[in-house]
Amino acid sequence: MTGRRVLVAGSALASLAAEPLAGATVEVVGLERLTGVGPADADLILIDADACTAQALASAVQALAACPAPPPVLMVGERLPTGVVRNLLRLERSDVLDAPFSAEHIAVAVAGLMSQTAAAAPASAPQADGASRCWAVVGAVGGSGGTTIAVEIATALCARQAKEKSVCLIDLNLADGAAAAYLGAQPSMKLGDFGAAADRIDPAMLQAFVTPVTKQLDLLAAARDPSAFDAIGREAVLKMLEVACESYDWVVIDMPRHRRAWSLEALSGCDEVLVVSELTVPALIAARALSDELEHAMASGLKPRIVLNRLASRMFGPAPSTAEAERALGCKAEGGISSDWEAAAASVNLGGPIAQHRPKSKIVKDIQQLVERLATQPARRAAQPGHASRAA
Ligand SMILES: Nc1ncnc2c1ncn2[C@@H]1O[C@H](COP(=O)(O)OP(=O)(O)OP(=O)(O)O)[C@@H](O)[C@H]1O
Ligand SMILES: [Mg+2]
Looking at the fold, whether 115 and 138 belong to one and the same domain comes out as no
**Per-residue model confidence (pLDDT) at position 392:** 38
Q: How far is the CA of 221 from the centre of ligand 2 (A)?
A: 12
Question: Quick check: 266 and 241 in contact, CB under 8 A?
Answer: yes
Question: CA separation (Å) from 265 to 23, 136, 234, 262, 287?
Answer: 34, 12, 10, 5, 20
DSSP string, 136-152: EEEESSTTSSHHHHHHH
pTM higher than 0.85 = no
**Per-residue model confidence (pLDDT) at position 36:** 82
Looking at the fold, whether 167 and 200 belong to one and the same domain comes out as yes
Looking at the fold, whether 109 and 190 belong to one and the same domain comes out as no
Of 91, 119, 147, which closes a domain?
119
Q: What range defines the domain where residue 368 resides?
A: 133-390
User: What is the number of structural domains in the chain?
Assistant: 2
Name the most confidently modeled range: 4-8, 9-13, 76-80, 176-180.
176-180
Say if 124 falls within a structural domain.
no
**Per-residue model confidence (pLDDT) at position 75:** 93
**Per-residue model confidence (pLDDT) at position 82:** 87
Ligand 1 site-directed mutation target among 138, 141, 147, 148, most atoms within 8 Å of CB: 148
Q: Considering only CA atoms, which residue is closest to atom 15 of ligand 1?
A: 145
Q: Is the pLDDT of residue 79 over 90?
A: no
Q: How far is the CA of 149 from the centre of ligand 1 (A)?
A: 8
Say if 126 falls within a structural domain.
no
Buried b (16+ CB within 10 A) or exposed e, 110-147: beebbeebeebbbebbbbeeebbbbbbbbbbbeebbbb
Looking at the fold, whether 277 and 160 belong to one and the same domain comes out as yes
Residues 6+ apart with CB under 8 A from 384: 131, 132, 134, 242, 245, 246, 269, 391
Ligand 1, residue 151: give the atom nearest the CA.
Answer: 18
**Per-residue model confidence (pLDDT) at position 267:** 95
Looking at the fold, whether 219 and 113 belong to one and the same domain comes out as no
Residues near ion ligand 2 (Cβ under 5 Å): 146-147
**Per-residue model confidence (pLDDT) at position 119:** 52
Q: How far is the CA of 376 from the centre of ligand 1 (A)?
A: 26
Nearest ligand for residue 363 CA: 1
Nearest ligand for residue 148 CA: 1
Q: What percent of the chain has pLDDT over 90?
A: 52
Rounded Cα distance, 281 and 277, in Å: 10
**Per-residue model confidence (pLDDT) at position 11:** 82
Q: Is the CB of 283 under 6 A from ligand 1?
A: no
**Per-residue model confidence (pLDDT) at position 239:** 93
Name the most confidently modeled range: 56-70, 130-144, 145-159.
145-159
Say if 128 falls within a structural domain.
no
- Tens digit of each residue's pLDDT (9 = 90 or more) over 36-76: 887 777 889 999 999 888 889 999 998 888 877 788 999 99
Looking at the fold, whether 112 and 167 belong to one and the same domain comes out as no
Q: Is the CB of 340 under 6 A from ligand 1?
A: yes
**Per-residue model confidence (pLDDT) at position 391:** 39
Domain at 18, CATH number: 3.40.50.2300
Q: Is the CB of 178 under 6 A from ligand 1?
A: yes
Question: Quick check: 75 and 97 in contact, CB under 8 A?
Answer: yes
Q: Is the CB of 309 under 6 A from ligand 1?
A: yes
Nearest ligand for residue 221 CA: 2
pLDDT category of residue 129 using cuts at 50, 70 and 90: low
Residues 6+ apart with CB under 8 A from 199: 235, 239
Ligand 1, residue 149: give the atom nearest the CA.
Answer: 18
Q: How far is the CA of 144 from the centre of ligand 2 (A)?
A: 8
Rounded Cα distance, 181 and 355, in Å: 16
Looking at the fold, whether 112 and 145 belong to one and the same domain comes out as no
Q: How far is the CA of 204 from the centre of ligand 2 (A)?
A: 28
Q: How far is the CA of 242 from the centre of ligand 1 (A)?
A: 28
DSSP 300: T
Say if 199 falls within a structural domain.
yes
Ligand 1 site-directed mutation target among 147, 255, 258, most atoms within 8 Å of CB: 147
Looking at the fold, whether 110 and 164 belong to one and the same domain comes out as no
Q: Is the CB of 363 under 6 A from ligand 1?
A: yes
Q: How far is the CA of 109 from the centre of ligand 2 (A)?
A: 46
Q: Is the pLDDT of residue 128 over 70?
A: no
Looking at the fold, whether 193 and 304 belong to one and the same domain comes out as yes
Looking at the fold, whether 236 and 356 belong to one and the same domain comes out as yes
Buried b (16+ CB within 10 A) or exposed e, 173-190: bbeebbbbbbbebebbbb
Looking at the fold, whether 175 and 316 belong to one and the same domain comes out as yes
Say if 127 falls within a structural domain.
no
Q: Is the CB of 361 under 6 A from ligand 1?
A: no
Say if 329 falls within a structural domain.
yes
- Tens digit of each residue's pLDDT (9 = 90 or more) over 210-268: 999 999 999 999 999 999 999 999 999 999 999 999 999 999 999 999 999 999 999 99
Q: Is the CB of 177 under 6 A from ligand 1?
A: no
Q: Is the CB of 21 under 6 A from ligand 1?
A: no
